[in-house]
């Protein structure tokens, strides 16, 4: 799964990397993105502008927003089978912006790792979104991150990883592509492009959101 990540790019860097308008008044850099927070995405509905959607997909037919707490990830292999995800996969897709994600390696001691590109560059994870109206009539846009089987690096840490899109396929992901083309994108990125290093257990708390979270707590693996 993918339960935490970071995205700390400055406004101008976001504009240059992803080619979108950024409203500085709403965007906030985060070292520890967590479920239920409003986070940076680029949606197929508004591909020219950075938007903030709630992490944890609330399907349009849901009776209660709490369902979103369980739907932070969508498994790629069954995306077309699950009622919660299949409609969004077909027509409501987004890029979830990140510069690194966290995963926990279980053992005698559970160790959090930060995984990022070797060159430190930002990337986009494949996401789906939906629109839900709460009982007060408020519209909430929310998203889930698609996951896939691990590459050889991630297999040392966890049995799942987020779908990290190539720069060449980011635009294709949010265009009106066929299900066959979309499914081809849902695979692990090459292990050779990533590195991972252990971090402090500060990341365990969703309330923690500071640069200290990024600091290495041991040697990196790649």
Catalytic-role residue among 2, 33, 94, 189:
2
Which residues lie below 8 Å from residue 87, measured CB to CB, with a gap of 6+?
Answer: 59, 60, 130
Which two three-digit tokens encode residue 189? 């990125």
Backbone phi and psi for residue 134, each to the nearest 5 degrees, phi listed first: -80, 170
Q: Which long-range contacts (CB under 8 A, 24 or more apart) does 9-13 make?
A: 9/97, 9/99, 9/122, 13/122
Instruction: Tell me, letter by letter, the H, E, C secondary structure of 107-168.
Output: CCCCEEEEEEECCCCCEEEEEEEEEEECCCCCEEEEEEEEEECCCCCHHHCCCCEECECCHH
Asked about 2 being catalytic, the answer comes back as yes
Asked about 94 being catalytic, the answer comes back as no
Catalytic-role residue among 33, 94, 103, 189:
103
Catalytic residues: 2, 103
């Amino acid at each position: 799964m993918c339960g935490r990540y970071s995205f700390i790019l400055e406004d101008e860097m976001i504009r240059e990397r992803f080619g979108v308008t950024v409203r500085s008044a709403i965007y906030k850099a985060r070292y520890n993105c967590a479920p239920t927070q409003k986070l940076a995405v680029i949606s197929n509905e508004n591909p020219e502008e950075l938007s903030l959607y709630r992490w944890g997909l609330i399907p349009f037919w849901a009776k209660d927003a709490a369902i979103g707490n369980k739907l932070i990830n969508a498994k790629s292999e069954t995306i077309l089978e699950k009622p919660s995800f299949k409609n969004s996969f077909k027509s409501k897709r987004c890029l979830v912006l990140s510069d690194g994600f966290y995963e926990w390696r279980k053992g005698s001691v559970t160790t959090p790792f930060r995984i990022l590109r070797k060159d430190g560059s930002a990337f986009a994870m494949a996401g789906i979104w939906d629109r839900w109206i709460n009982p007060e009539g408020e519209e909430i846009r929310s998203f889930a991150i698609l996951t896939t089987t691990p590459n050889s690096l991630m297999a040392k840490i966890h049995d799942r990883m987020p779908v990290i899109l190539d720069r060449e396929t980011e635009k294709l992901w949010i265009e009106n592509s066929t299900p066959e083309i979309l499914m081809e994108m849902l695979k692990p990125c090459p292990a050779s492009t990533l590195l991972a290093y252990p971090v402090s257990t500060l990341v365990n708390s969703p309330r923690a959101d500071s640069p200290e979270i990024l600091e290495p707590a041991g040697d990196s693996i790649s």
